[in-house]
Amino acid sequence: MLHTLSQLRSGKLAGISQLKLSESLKTFPLEILTLADSLEILDLSNNALSSLPDELAHMKKLKIIFASQNKFEHLPDILGQLPSLEMIGFKSNKIKRVSEQSLPAQLRWLILTDNLIETLPNSLGERPRLQKLALAGNQLTHLPQTLAQSRNLELVRISANQLTECPEQLLDLPNLAWFAFAGNPFTKVEAKINSDIHAQIKSVPEISSASYTLENVLGQGASGIISKAHWNAPQSQFPEEIAVKVFKGEITSDGYPQDELQACLQAGHHPNLVASVAQVNEENYLALIMTLIPENYQNLGLPPCFKSCTRDTFPPGFNLPIQLINRIVSQMQDVFVHLHNNQVCHGDLYAHNTLFDSQGNIIFGDFGAATSYQMLTPTQQEKVKNIESRALKYFIDDLLSICAEEDINSNEFNLLKKHVNN
């Protein structure tokens, strides 16, 4: 819910725990400090702020602060003095500097996507609760070696930076499961793609955007908008019913659209992957044409929430019989093998990126965080695969959390649980 400055000044918002202000603010409204005894979430995104006052230290209960799409040139040091602060989101500012002092002791979730950051402080790796780190679209040339200590880190986005070497300190982290690293100099090193993968990429032809017309929007994510579409002339080469994903721009929260397209094509065809049939690669227009998914498919899960941080959520009361879970898991395991046989790390292996029907057939998609990793050494490739195998285990564990009550502790349930725990 969007609030107003006049509501705040009139006292109508006294005692609230969440505040969202977007009024082209150039200075921090000190009236916010009157909420110090109650405020837990502060969203100041889409303003024109460049600093925060030292008085913010009085906000002892503040857990989450968002200030995306403002004009900050450095991450405010005052954030490091907030004892309860655990989630920071300063996406799409002009941040160049992140100091040792700006990172609070309880930091769990740091989003600095689409800024101008070249280096990060060693203190980042000295935040033991850190689980989620989103740094795509910066100017990072290296990462702190102290991140090797981040044993609770589960999700990392470092795509579209200036990293010249694969950050080895991340590859052995015991809980890292979702890893996106495309669009760095070290991923652009020429590496031999085997002939089968090369043939897969070439099998998806380029066509003109004038070949089709977009209809209603089916969905959208960080990297683009998916719409139903129809051909402007009869087609014999392609399926009649299609959907088109039009990529949003030069950079997304996961990286460059061109890297997503490359990984999607390199993944090739599989019965449980969204089928790519053509691509459009025109100036200022990048799109992927896919077969239209039947209407009887629905989302398997919902994205993580503030509380779950990196783990999927599900609608209240939603559950599945163990037979259906088993079928879904078996298909996803096959997808996992297929992707890594083609040297693609999906980076976002989640139930919320999976569609399913009443029979338990799945279609998996959204390659926004995917990375083609054939340029890595064999040892590094194996570690990347191990990272994503953890995501697969979390996927299974999340599904077991919504298993029908009568199937809990069945043989099938216990076998899957054993797989997760191994």
* Sequence ranges of the binding site: 245
CB neighbourhood size of 192 (10 A): 9
Give the integer Cα–Cα distance in Å for 41 and 180: 28
**Which residue ranges are tagged as binding site for ATP?**
245
Question: Which residues sit opposite 207 in a β-bridge?
Answer: none
Unique residue bearing structure tokens 């990196």 = 310
d(CA 396, CA 402): 10
For residues 43 and 30, give the distance between their C-alpha atoms in angstroms, rounded to a whole number.
15
What one-character-per-residue DSSP string does 250-291 give? Answer: S--SSS-HHHHHHHHHHH---TTBPPEEEEEEETTEEEEEEE
Question: By the 8 A CB rule, do 246 and 255 touch?
Answer: no
What's the CA gap between 411 and 417, in Å, rounded? Answer: 10
Name 356's bridge partners: 298, 362
